Amino acid sequence: MTRAKVFAFERNDPSEESLHWLRDRGVEVALGKPMWEKGFKRFSDDEIIAAAQGFDGVIGASGANFNRRVIDALPRLKYIAKFGVGVDSIDVPYATEKGILVANTPVDSQAAPVSEHAIAMMLALRKRLTQWTPAFMAAGGWRADIFCDVIAGSTVGIVGLGRIGAGVARRLVAWEVTLLAYDPFLRQAPAGVELCSLDRLLAESDVVTLHAAPTPENRHLIDAAALARMKRDAILINTGRAWLVDYPALRAALVEGRIGGAGLDVFETEPPDPADVLFTLNNVVVSPHSATWSLSGVMKVGWCAARNMWAMISGEGEAAIVNPDARNNAKI
């Protein structure tokens, strides 16, 4: 068998032990951009086409789009090992048609940190930690007319009850909150959670947290109309995908005071524009798509992606393949 060539177009684990492991198995691994370095930027289509030429497989996160144009321009490509669960940066149906296997990394180490991150953002906003800052105190600020809120007694609406949404619910059950959830794929909710319509969830929730998968049907699920249905003091948390939110509509709602605040870990363009108005508002808490960004977490994701790649190349072991039908069209 010809030695397989893999391009780690993004690297998420500074130890790179998983990539060394692939090399030990005879895979030729080329290194791309380290995601931990300052100034990290996504690849344009032309950049990823140029960089990934001649490789059988690629490993990385969402820093490159594998759309039809890119896939067609990479005739040798057979395997994509994606960091993370979401594969919205990949045209999976077209990859399947072209015989390209796509795997993701549904490791438990990702669900817990994102669940915790969403709750941390809820607390930061409800407790006014975006206003009671060191700069505020250094300028002589004190409590004044800023009043914090509590989670207890409030209603939290969870959009999407997969591993992360369910993790949020499980953690909040003991917090004396009412838990509503919208998930059209579920018929029964976990204990302590009531399934309901999206309209009801938006109208009754004090906090709305997004954990739905980015499908074509839910693009801009939270648009201007959805934001208008929320309470005026409600907050929106998005640690899921930017795909789910109409960000221009969200900016307008926040600036005009039509919702109470937002906690955002994901953005339409990443990294986002430093001049974004979101970064000037004291009812917004943000983080740089870092909900899963712990060293132990990224190491586990890196190992899962490497093992996925080896399983796809060699047939040894199991890979978390999202499009097994691609085998029917596999390239020789």
Q: Among all residues, which ones are annotated catalytic?
A: 241, 270, 289
282 φ/ψ sector (left φ>0, alpha ψ -120 to 50, else beta): alpha
CB-CB contact of 169 with 181 (8 Å): yes
CB-CB contact of 35 with 305 (8 Å): no
- Residue 295, CA distances (Å) to 36, 58, 109, 110, 255 in order: 10, 22, 11, 12, 36
CA dist., res. 157 & res. 168, Å (int): 10
CA dist., res. 130 & res. 128, Å (int): 5
Q: How would DSSP label each residue in 92-111?
A: HHHHHHTT-EEE----HHHH
Cα three-residue angle 46-49-54, rounded to 5 degrees: 160
293: tokens are: 């960004």
Please measure the distance between the N-terminal and C-terminal CA atoms of the chain and give it in whole angstroms: 11
Q: Return the H-helix or E-strand segment holding 9.
A: strand 5-11
Residue with tokens 């409800």, as numbered in its chain? 126
Compute φ and ψ for 146, nearest 5 degrees.
Answer: -95, 120
CA dist., res. 18 & res. 1, Å (int): 22
CB-CB contact of 206 with 154 (8 Å): yes
The identity of residue 129, as a single letter, is L
3 state DSSP class of 245 = strand
The identity of residue 65, as a single letter, is N
